């Protein structure tokens, strides 16, 4: 009995090794599933295979499922060969009617390239065809790739207050878009969309002078339902009297008006200090008193993109 078990294991191992030297196709996977081999065996076989020729468009996936291939096996097939074309509405309906689970379709959408924008009438038709709201939400968020060009303004209004006496480096604060972000005629993110401002640096600029320095960065903006991370360049100002060099920097900040920082540039952030209220934009009130710097709630801050920001 023991010899038979060992023989069976060796045969299975030899089978995997032999298959690993050939090319696996959709038809091979269907044959394996129909032969009565376990899902675990077939999954391991696919994972070990170095050369495969799978076609993972919705029609072929539906055919394989109809032939008895499990979703667990098909999920591995998709991971091995992610779809090269975006999902169209017909393919999505085909998968739903073939009985694929919501989880499988969501994972498939996540692995596909971005497609065309889905309009209201299409959403309604897909809903009538049985597509769930979770899948529809994922389809909408998978819209076409958009690039926010360098030099674009992003204006946010603070919700939380930032105070150099209580806030510390790394703290994050809630904000919202004061103006929508648009690329051409397309609105990428509406006014009121969530944003996050991060305290990039809060420190004393000198051991003897004890001047407070507060540097903030635009950390993220919610675009198409996702928190898109951004980075900001640095402009430094202090809370008390300045040296000649600091005064020159402050004058430069005033000269660029509402622009106090930049996103997507890989720098540290935009600093707010004494005299920065005008540079922060309309409606802002940045207070300084001695060594304290405070950015109250409702302060409007404007950032400018240094490099393109690509939204998938």
pLDDT digits (tens, 9 = 90+) for 42-66: 999 999 888 889 999 999 999 999 9
Matching residue, tokens 């930032």: 162
Determine the Cα–Cα distance for residues 212 and 142; give it in Å rounded to an integer.
44
Q: Which residue, among 269, 177, 179, has the nearest Cα to 222 in the 3D structure? A: 177
Determine the Cα–Cα distance for residues 307 and 312; give it in Å rounded to an integer.
16
Per-residue CA distances from 212 to 111, 163, 273, 296 (Å): 47, 11, 8, 16
Domain boundaries, the chain: 2-141, 147-311
Alpha helices in 20-129 (DSSP H): 26-34, 39-48, 58-66, 71-80, 89-97, 102-111, 120-128
| 75 pLDDT higher than 90 | yes
What pLDDT sits at residue 291? 56
Q: Which of 21-25, 45-49, 260-264 has the lowest mean pLDDT?
A: 260-264
Q: Which residue, among 206, 207, 275, 265, has the nearest Cα to 239 in the 3D structure? A: 275
What pLDDT sits at residue 37? 95
pLDDT digits (tens, 9 = 90+) for 125-177: 999 999 999 999 888 877 666 778 877 888 889 999 988 788 888 899 999 99
Confidence of residue 188 (pLDDT cuts 50, 70, 90): confident
Q: Which residue, among 246, 230, 235, 195, has the nearest Cα to 305 in the 3D structure? A: 230
- Spell out the residues 6+ positions from residue 152 whose beta carbon is closer than 8 angstroms to its own: 181, 304, 305, 309
Q: Which of 96-110, 215-229, 252-266 has the lowest mean pLDDT?
A: 252-266
pLDDT digits (tens, 9 = 90+) for 283-305: 334 545 455 677 889 988 888 77
What pLDDT sits at residue 138? 85
Per-residue CA distances from 309 to 116, 158, 230, 256 (Å): 19, 22, 8, 22
């Amino acid at each position: 009995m023991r010899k038979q078990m060992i023989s069976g294991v060796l045969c299975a191992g030899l089978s995997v090794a032999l298959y690993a030297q050939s090319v696996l196709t959709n038809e091979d996977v269907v044959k394996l599933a129909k032969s009565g081999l376990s899902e675990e065996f077939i999954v391991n076989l696919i994972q070990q295979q170095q050369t495969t020729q799978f076609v993972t468009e919705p029609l072929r996936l539906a055919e394989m499922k109809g032939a008895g291939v499990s979703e667990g096996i098909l999920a591995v097939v998709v991971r091995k060969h992610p779809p090269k074309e975006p999902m169209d509405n017909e393919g999505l309906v085909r998968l739903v009617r073939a009985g694929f689970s919501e989880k499988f379709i969501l994972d498939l959408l996540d692995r596909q390239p971005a497609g065309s924008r889905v309009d209201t009438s299409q959403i309604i038709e897909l809903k009538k065809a049985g597509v769930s709201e979770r899948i529809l939400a994922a389809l909408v968020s998978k819209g076409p790739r958009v690039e926010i060009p360098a030099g674009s303004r992003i204006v946010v209004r603070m919700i939380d207050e930032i105070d150099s006496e209580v806030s510390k480096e790394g703290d994050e604060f809630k904000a919202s878009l004061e103006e929508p972000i648009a690329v051409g005629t397309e609105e990428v993110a509406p006014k009121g969309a969530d944003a996050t401002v991060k305290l990039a640096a809060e420190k004393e600029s000198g051991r003897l002078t004890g001047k407070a320095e507060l540097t903030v960065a635009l950390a993220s903006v919610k675009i198409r339902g996702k928190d898109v991370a951004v980075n900001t360049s640095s402009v430094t100002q202090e809370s008390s009297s300045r040296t000649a060099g600091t005064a020159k920097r402050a004058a430069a900040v005033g000269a660029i008006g509402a622009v106090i920082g930049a996103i997507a540039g890989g720098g540290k952030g935009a600093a707010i200090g004494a005299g920065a209220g005008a540079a922060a934009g309309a409606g802002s009130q940045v207070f300084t008193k001695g060594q304290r710097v405070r950015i109250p709630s409702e302060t409007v801050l404007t950032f400018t993109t240094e490099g393109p920001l690509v939204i998938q």
